[in-house]
């Protein structure tokens, strides 16, 4: 295999494909590498951990066809630190030579015949607008759990709802729900559970084109945009009954400025380290943020807002509250509560497509 390509293109390609390689060394070391196949001027770069596969097709200056599997982390790091300009790749038996300017690297390759064969699954296909998806993914994906001990909660639920698509994610401490009206990729009452890790990668490439093609199979999903294909296994199992967690009615309502509240939270949060919550003290006279760190001190800040309801103090994980405020697009937001222990609802004022549910923290 022999080809040349611009550093900027390769750096971007290797960095993205590497996201599909395993984070930990496993039983199959070849998966730590990126598979590369050159046919004339077409180079295919593929990374996979068997659950997530990223395939990228490039046009390069091809001189000799061939295949190689190259350590993915090294490949991404080398392409990142080389000077701008063309990078040359030449395979020789079980090595690959990478040269650019005065720099030269010779790397041992991994066995090509041990790398898994890639076959793209089929299924129902739909084309979606990337602009609306980018905002929806930003609002929802972060709320999914990172704990593999509960795999169901590491996924994002895609459901056909109200003549559109609904995205739901929860880690059991907070939940994000986003509706995308007019977007239909599922039949009525159909649901699929997509790993949040895969959607996080999709979110990063949505600026590569105006349309995203989604193919939903029985056990896998494919996301295509431009020259990039992302294939992920779907999560099997039953997602929690999220609708039953949403309070039907909350008697307390607070309306606050989003940016001013975010800034105040960031200041008060300096005294809310580790598992320390931030208390939100709400009365008809003032709204106050309070963080108390034993053996260090406390921070207090009064914020502007309109409050209707009974006097109440509710404590939240400040990071989760900040996450919710950051992804709301309206200038003003509402926080609805029932009491200090029941779920609170955060959403944009007069904004109906996004809802962020947050569990309070019990404090003495």
Q: Which helix (H) or strand (E) holds 89?
A: strand 86-92
Cα dihedral across residues 193, 197, 200, 205: positive or negative: negative
93 shares its domain with 197: no
Give the C-alpha separation, 98 to 106, whole Å: 6
pLDDT tens digit string along 14-36? 999 999 999 876 668 999 999 99
Q: Are residues 131 and 142 in the same domain?
A: yes
pTM of the model: 0.91
Phi, psi (degrees; rounded to nearest 5) at 119: -130, 125
What is the pLDDT at residue 123?
78
Q: DSSP class of residue 258?
A: H
Residues 130, 98 share a domain: no
Residue 363 lies in a domain: no
- Give the C-alpha separation, 339 to 349, whole Å: 21
First-residue to last-residue Cα distance in the chain: 67
Q: Considering only residues 229 and 185, tell me which one the structure prediction assigns the higher pLDDT.
A: 229
- The answer to whether residue 93 is domain-embedded is yes
Instruction: Indicate whether 364 belongs to any domain.
Output: no
Could you tell me if residue 354 is inside a domain? yes
Domain boundary among 96, 114, 132: 114
Q: Identify the H or E element spanning 274.
A: none
Write the CATH number for 272. 3.10.150.10
Domain limits for position 65: 2-114
Mean pLDDT of 200-212: 92
> Which pLDDT value is given to residue 26?
64
Count of the separate structural domains present in the chain: 3
Position 281 in a domain: yes
Q: Which of 244, 269, 294 is the last residue of a domain?
A: 244
Pair (38, 149) in one structural domain: no
Average pLDDT of the residues in 68-96: 95
Count Cβ atoms below 10 Å from residue 39 Cβ, excluding itself: 11
Q: What is the mean pLDDT of residues 153-182?
A: 92
pLDDT of residue 209: 87
The three-state secondary structure class of 178 is strand
Q: Residues of the chain with pLDDT > 90: what percent?
A: 79
Domain end, chosen from 82, 114, 146, is at 114
Residues 260 and 336 both lie in one domain: yes
d(CA 15, CA 12): 5
pLDDT band at 118 (very low <50, low <70, confident <90, very high): confident
């Amino acid at each position: 295999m022999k080809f040349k390509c611009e550093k900027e293109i390769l750096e971007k390609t290797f960095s993205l494909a590497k996201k599909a390689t395993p984070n930990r060394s496993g039983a199959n070391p070849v998966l730590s590498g990126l598979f590369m196949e050159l046919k004339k001027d077409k180079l295919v770069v593929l990374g996979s951990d068997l659950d997530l596969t990223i395939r990228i097709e490039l046009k390069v200056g091809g001189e000799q066809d061939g295949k190689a599997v190259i350590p993915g982390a090294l490949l991404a790091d080398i392409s990142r630190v080389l000077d701008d300009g063309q990078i040359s790749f030449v395979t020789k038996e079980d090595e690959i030579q990478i040269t650019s300017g005065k720099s030269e690297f010779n790397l041992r390759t991994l066995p090509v015949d041990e790398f898994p064969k890639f076959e793209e699954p089929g299924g129902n296909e739909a084309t979606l607008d990337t602009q609306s998806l980018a905002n929806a993914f930003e609002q929802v994906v972060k709320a999914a759990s990172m704990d593999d001990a509960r795999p169901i909660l590491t996924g994002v639920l895609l459901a056909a709802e109200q003549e559109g698509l609904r995205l739901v994610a929860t880690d059991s401490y907070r939940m994000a729900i986003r509706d995308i009206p007019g977007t239909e990729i599922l039949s009525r009452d159909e649901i699929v559970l997509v790993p949040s890790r895969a959607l996080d990668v999709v979110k990063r490439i949505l600026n590569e084109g105006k349309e995203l093609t989604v193919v939903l199979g029985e056990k896998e999903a494919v996301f295509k945009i431009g020259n990039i294909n992302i294939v992920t296994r779907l999560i099997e199992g039953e997602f929690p009954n999220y609708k039953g967690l949403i309070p039907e009615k909350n008697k307390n309502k607070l309306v606050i400025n989003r940016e001013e509240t975010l800034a105040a939270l960031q200041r008060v949060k300096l005294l809310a380290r580790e598992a320390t919550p931030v208390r939100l003290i709400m009365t008809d006279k003032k709204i106050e943020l309070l963080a108390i760190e034993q053996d260090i001190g406390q921070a207090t800040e009064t914020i502007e807002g309109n409050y209707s309801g009974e006097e109440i103090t509710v404590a939240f994980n400040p990071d989760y509250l900040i996450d919710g405020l950051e992804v709301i697009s309206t200038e003003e937001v509402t926080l609805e509560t029932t009491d200090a222990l029941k779920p609170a609802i955060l959403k944009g004022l007069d904004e109906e497509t996004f809802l962020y549910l947050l569990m309070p923290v019990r404090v003495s």
